[in-house]
Structure 1
């Protein structure tokens, strides 16, 4: 038996406001509600209120999880928070969350900044700290409010992204073998400009000129302070990188893809997931989709999708799950999870 990190439970929180395809189609001539659904697989996305930040969503998700699992908060000694929409440049948002959750001052709390690859990286961080004996009860939180970066008239991103938070409880347990892993992680910074908010941080401080609106050849309007996505480049990166990523992680585990019970990829869009499923020849019963009622929630897509299949009774104790995230950065990561919570 070895001391290792084990996932005990997952929960999430979606903001109240809903943005439907009917509402979007009224803004974008030629884009009907059915066309948006066909392209994205999304019926509606949840949008954070003007006064609602990533920390607010994360606290709601964490409270739900801790109350459902009846966790003694004094046991928590690690809080790891992923976001690309922090409350402030500083302090670290995890410090604010620690106080709001009523956690002890013995808690190690920090942020990390990743988008669609957040979940595998977060699991790797937490497992490393637990395996090293530094932590024993961890909260891994992810939350993003991309809607605050999106220009209302940029259909290339507004039709895709929604706001959300997710929470995962991970504890140190004795198991015959590691419950989480192996991992395959990677980065290619040459793709950074293909999914970016160009202005507003230290490399490009916000200036008046950055607020000037520009409309591209596809009739999408944005400013330099808004989210920009080069969709074709992101698609090309994904269809080239992800199949190899999946093959690499099953090879690292010395198994085949046939030995995996469920595959949960970053829930980017219907078009992208259909392409990857076909390329990898994964049968429908093993391939998880969950985005029609929440959209692409960036860092939280995999945990939300994983919770959906757990709640639906599709995950049994001992099942082998493969998760993979990929996107902004470019950054990618994948790992296996053997589902074996204590209860």
Structure 2
């Protein structure tokens, strides 16, 4: 018994924030400057009455419709989100009912960001290969833009909202999801944080996250990111993690047909590609039209790579997520 990724699809909200829109708000940042720094042209923004469960449901419906999947065939649902509709109930319970999944299906949330897709796949693999489930639906959904202070251009240029749905199934043979590697450094929790809106004030662990300290009028959440710290963390952990994944897989860099990393921003991805020595044609980047959608960047990129013919059946791919937590994870899969 082994687990494999059977199908991927995604959903983006209708409202779009372009670089032209941002440049009009912040004239000191030209369209060209934003594009050059981020590699992002457009971000999709959830509407005032559009939340993570809505995006998750839309992504699940897209997957079912486009891949002819029967909702009643799903026996476990994992929803990865850091922007749940409510403290309780879990978003997964709302999504299970709306998608028409059987009441015999398990449903649970996991609270992870940029590495969340890898963790979701790892949990799905464990459920399948331990005999607890045969068809697991992994949905990633985040509405980070609701956390962002409108006056904070540093993060408004980066983040967009979106959701992706992945079907993980028992393929009846050897596992095609392998070499899963995880990592956590909670000492970096202060580097990317939403300081307000929860039960505890985040300024206690990151004083710089306080809106007043940033000369901002609080919007109620005020997402804070220490960009240089996140960049340095990424350069520190990703190369070693790639080596660890390859060692677990018994593979070399040249054995991987396609690398799909968390789509943080184009500058960071290009820096990582060069540092790792991966040829550009084997390193997939897809964030210009969606921005950094946190937990959904990897599955969105996978779906785009498949639709454009870059990703073909039988290819060996490396997936790697890294960011908020601080947390990271990666794996090798056969498509």
Q: TM-score, normalized by length of structure 2?
A: 0.95
- Asked if 1 retains the 8 angstrom alpha-carbon contact of 2:193 and 2:202, the reply is no
- Asked if 2 retains the 8 angstrom alpha-carbon contact of 1:197 and 1:224, the reply is no
Structure 1 stretches of 4+ moved >4 Å: 219-224
Q: Secondary structure at the match of 1:26?
A: helix
Give, in angstroms, the shift of residue 316 of structure 1: 2.3
- The reply to whether residue 186 of structure 1 matches residue 183 of structure 2 is yes
Give, in angstroms, the shift of residue 8 of structure 1: 1.1
- The reply to whether residue 292 of structure 1 matches residue 283 of structure 2 is no
- The reply to whether residue 267 of structure 1 matches residue 263 of structure 2 is yes
The one of 154, 157, 181 aligned to 2:155: 157
**How far, CA to CA, are the matches of 2:332 and 2:218 in structure 1?**
39
Quote the RMSD (CA, aligned, Å): 1.7
Q: Secondary structure at the match of 1:31?
A: coil
Give, in angstroms, the shift of residue 313 of structure 1: 1.4
**How far, CA to CA, are the matches of 1:192 and 1:9 in structure 2?**
33
Q: Secondary structure at the match of 1:174?
A: coil
Give, in angstroms, the shift of residue 202 of structure 1: 2.0
Q: Secondary structure at the match of 1:321?
A: strand
**Number of aligned pairs?**
330
CA deviation string 1:274-326 (max 9, x = no partner): 11011001101100000001100000000000111111112222210000000
- Asked if 1 retains the 8 angstrom alpha-carbon contact of 2:44 and 2:160, the reply is yes
**How far, CA to CA, are the matches of 2:198 and 2:270 in structure 1?**
35
- The reply to whether residue 119 of structure 1 matches residue 117 of structure 2 is yes
Unpaired segments ≥5 residues, structure 2: 204-208
Give the match for residue 173 of structure 1.
171
- Asked if 2 retains the 8 angstrom alpha-carbon contact of 1:214 and 1:223, the reply is no
CA deviation string 1:164-196 (max 9, x = no partner): 000001111212x21101111010000000100
The one of 334, 337, 340 aligned to 2:333: 337
The one of 110, 121, 143 aligned to 2:108: 110
**How far, CA to CA, are the matches of 1:242 and 1:295 in structure 2?**
21
The one of 264, 276, 279 aligned to 2:275: 279
Give the match for residue 311 of structure 1.
307
- The reply to whether residue 199 of structure 1 matches residue 167 of structure 2 is no
Give the match for residue 68 of structure 1.
66
**How far, CA to CA, are the matches of 1:272 and 1:113 in structure 2?**
24
**How far, CA to CA, are the matches of 1:214 and 1:41 in structure 2?**
30
Q: Secondary structure at the match of 2:311?
A: coil
- The reply to whether residue 233 of structure 1 matches residue 240 of structure 2 is no
CA deviation string 1:139-158 (max 9, x = no partner): 10000000000011101100
Give the match for residue 4 of structure 1.
2
Q: Given the superposition, is the C-alpha separation of residues 230 and 101 from structure 1 closer, same or farther in structure 2, using an over 3 Å criterion?
A: same
Q: TM-score, normalized by length of structure 1?
A: 0.93
**How far, CA to CA, are the matches of 1:212 and 1:312 in structure 2?**
43
Give the match for residue 206 of structure 2.
none
**How far, CA to CA, are the matches of 2:233 and 2:202 in structure 1?**
29
Q: Given the superposition, is the C-alpha separation of residues 142 and 212 from structure 1 closer, same or farther in structure 2, using an over 3 Å criterion?
A: closer
Q: Given the superposition, is the C-alpha separation of residues 18 and 224 from structure 1 closer, same or farther in structure 2, using an over 3 Å criterion?
A: closer
- Asked if 2 retains the 8 angstrom alpha-carbon contact of 1:155 and 1:220, the reply is no
Give, in angstroms, the shift of residue 235 of structure 1: 0.4
Q: Given the superposition, is the C-alpha separation of residues 32 and 205 from structure 1 closer, same or farther in structure 2, using an over 3 Å criterion?
A: closer
Matches within 5 A, 1:36-55: 36-55=34-53
